[in-house]
A and B are shown apart, each in its own frame.
Chain A
Amino acid sequence: MTEFFQSLGMSYEWAWGVATICGILLIALPLMLAVAMIIYADRKIWAAIALRRGPNVVGPFGLLQSFADGLKVFLQETIIPSSANRGLFLIAPIITFTVALMAWAVIPFNSGAVLADINVGLLYILAISSLGVYGVILSGWSSNSKYPFFSALRASAQMISYEVSIGFILIGVVLWADSFNLNEIVKAQQGHGLGFVNAFGFNLLLFPLAVMFLISALAETARAPFDLTEAESELVAGYQTEYSSMSFALFWLGEYANVLLMCTLNAVLFWGGWLPPVDWAPLYAVPGIIWLFAKILFFFFVFSWVKATVPRYRYDQLMRLGWKIFLPISLFWVFLISGYLMLTRYS
């Protein structure tokens, strides 16, 4: 894109700046629209499984429900509790929202359609998602109220625990793809399974990692059945209890942007990203971005499906799953995969 703006007669620095800002807007604005629609989809799927109708009043089939909700919170008054720590109370939702958007910079939407094609892309995502803890922990502490604080402690312990096993799972994928760059990882999946399926998930050694990653992604984004951070029967609304108006909306948007990011990572790391599902020439006529979106939407459907059907875990069960099951298995899998690759690829 930089070349295009340079051809309009800008100097390299200006062209680079304008191109980057355009790239950011091209990702962030559709993402916000997608979040609004995905919230609607989430509620509709949940309602369908619970044999209810879901939102059906605003707009045709209730399609405009999310926008109505957005307008509602926009017009509300921002209430700051008198005993809250003002600065941090207002910064916390901004951190959550910004961090949720930042990670999208390295996601490849098509061959070469990346905002930042850096060769440590996966590490960048790990680094950014580890920042997400601060939005939660700060909102809980600065509210100066006990339920948000409990929720913040729970959420941060949960996110840190599952980040460890996510790190090891990602190492398995990186070892196989031989690169940290997400585009290279997608390309490495071409014809990987049985010679014609474009997915790491069809590899018998990597399939268990794909399953663990899906479950860890649920825990990392605090979705049901791991939504202990906002267990409404115990903690009112978790760390967002004291928030209202736009500061609440930022949490909401950030949360769903994170869910979409985790769905995208599932698609990109294990199920071929922007590649068509099968390595067959006519399928490449469909633009890669459509394949990627189809996979993201499928995984989002899985997320909603799980939310609607699985009861909530108890906190000790959650910790047990993270530390006593996922961590040893994923650590063992790193040894297994590197041993296998040493025997076959590098010997």
Chain B
Amino acid sequence: MIQLIAFYLFATIVIASAAMVIFARNPVHSVMWLILAFFNAAGLMLLAGAEFIAMLLVIVYVGAVAVLFLFVVMMLDIDFAELRAGFVRYLPLGALVAIILAAELVFAVGAWSAGGIDLAARAAPVVSDKSNIQQIGELLYTRYIFLFEAAGIVLLVAMIGAIVLTHRQRGGVRGQNISQQVRRRPEDATRLVDPGVGQGMEL
């Protein structure tokens, strides 16, 4: 009963906020609706018993990816008139995409109701006494270890690529060398002298 109410609550909010991502006029509002959709999708994951995936969804997508989205969108100079002018131009393309998606949905529902797919594949995951994290870890580091490592290398290459593309040497930057500052002792910097009267000081 509680699960059912929670499911319909989360599902309704996901769909409604996903629609609002498109319908919101202001791009910043769009990003906020997107975050709400992510958050409620994490709630759906929790209901499916995948608490580890749900938490990762919130940490990675809500905590990092969406913040970057928000940064970029806030910096944009948005001209609403121009945005609306493009609407008619892109309408045929948009309509085409919409028709393809709708057709796919109809086919998917038709194929599903016709049966023929192995029912065991759709069955609920086997409940075991191990926690979510242990199960994922065991699978990821044994059976899928090469795929996991390959994904890591792809990310590393992407990271190095981004650094190479944006890195440039700038001249005339006066950086702060903190270890040098910390190493500096009073004796290196100050000098105590006792000049005689009328002799003056050599600087």
Which A residues are closer than 8 A to B by beta carbons?
13, 16-17, 85, 87-88, 118-120, 123-124, 126-128, 130-131, 133-134, 137-138, 141, 153, 156, 160, 163, 180, 316-317, 320
Which residue of A has the minimal Cβ distance to B51? A120
Could you give, for residues 122-158 of chain B, a 1 whenever the CB lies within 8 Å of some chain A CB and a 0 otherwise? 0000000001110000000000000000000000000
- Other 12 A-B pairs with CB < 8 A, given A120-B51, A160-B64: A13-B2, A87-B29, A123-B55, A126-B55, A127-B58, A133-B67, A134-B35, A134-B67, A141-B28, A160-B63, A163-B63, A317-B176
Nearest A residue to B57 via CB reads A127
B117 proximal to A (CB < 8 A): no
In the complex, what distance in Å separates the CA atom of A130 from the CA atom of B19?
A: 25
- Asked if A130 contacts B70 (CB within 8 A), the reply is no
Assembly CA distance A160 to B70 (angstroms)? 13
Q: Report the bound CA distance from A123 to B46 in whole Å.
A: 13
- Cα distance, A13 to B42, chains bound together (Å): 23
Instruction: In the A-B complex, list the 9 residue pairs whose CB atoms are closest, starting with the nearest.
Output: A130-B63, A127-B58, A123-B55, A127-B59, A120-B51, A119-B131, A127-B55, A120-B55, A13-B1
The answer on a CB contact under 8 Å between A118 and B51 is yes
Q: Determine the chain B residues whose CB is within 8 A of the CB of A120 once the complex forms.
A: 51-52, 55, 132-133
Distance, CA A137 to CA B68, complexed state (A) = 11
Q: Which residues of B contact A118 (CB under 8 A)?
A: 51
Flag if B63 contacts A127 (CB, 8 Å): yes
Chain B residues within an 8 Å CB radius of A119: 51, 131-133
**Can you report 9 A-B residue pairs in the complex whose CB atoms are below 8 A from each other?**
A13-B1, A87-B29, A120-B52, A120-B132, A123-B52, A123-B56, A127-B62, A131-B58, A160-B67
A21 → chain B closest CB, angstroms = 13
Q: Does B32 contact A (CB under 8 A)?
A: yes
B121 at the binding interface (Cβ < 8 Å): no
A-chain residues with CB within 8 Å of residue B120 when the two chains form the complex: none
- Interface residues as binary, B37-72 with A (CB distance below 8 Å gives 1, 0 otherwise): 000001000000001100110110011100100110
Contact call A88/B32, Cβ cutoff below 8 A: yes
Contact between A16 and B63, CB atoms less than 8 A apart:
no
In the assembled complex, B101 has its CB within 8 A of some CB on chain A: no
Q: Which residue among B26, B52, B58, B59 has the maximum number of chain A CB atoms within 10 Å of its CB?
A: B59
Nearest CB in chain A: distance from B19 CB, A: 17
Which of A130, A153, A317 contacts B59 (CB under 8 A)? A130
B55 close to A16 (CB less than 8 A): no
Q: Name the B residues within 8 Å of A160 (CB-CB).
A: 63-64, 67
Q: How far is the CB of B93 from chain A (nearest CB, A)?
A: 31
Contact A126 B59 (CB under 8 A): yes
Give the complex CA separation of A202 and B132 in angstroms.
31
- The answer on a CB contact under 8 Å between B67 and A156 is yes
Q: Tell whether A130 pairs with B28 under 8 Å between CB atoms, given A137-B67, A141-B74, A320-B178.
A: no
Complex Cα spacing A303 to B55, Å: 29
B55 — which chain A residues lie within 8 A by C-beta? 120, 123-124, 126-127
Collect the chain B residues with CB atoms within 8 Å of residue A131's CB: 58, 62-63
Distance of A163 Cα from B64 Cα, bound (Å): 10
A16, A119, A156: residue with the most chain B Cβ atoms closer than 10 Å: A119
Interface string of B88-112 (1 = CB under 8 A from A): 0000000000000000000000000
A127: B residues at CB distance < 8 A = 42, 55, 58-59, 62-63
Contact of A130 among B26, B29, B62 (CB under 8 A): B62
Q: Are the CB atoms of B28 and A123 closer together than 8 Å? A: no
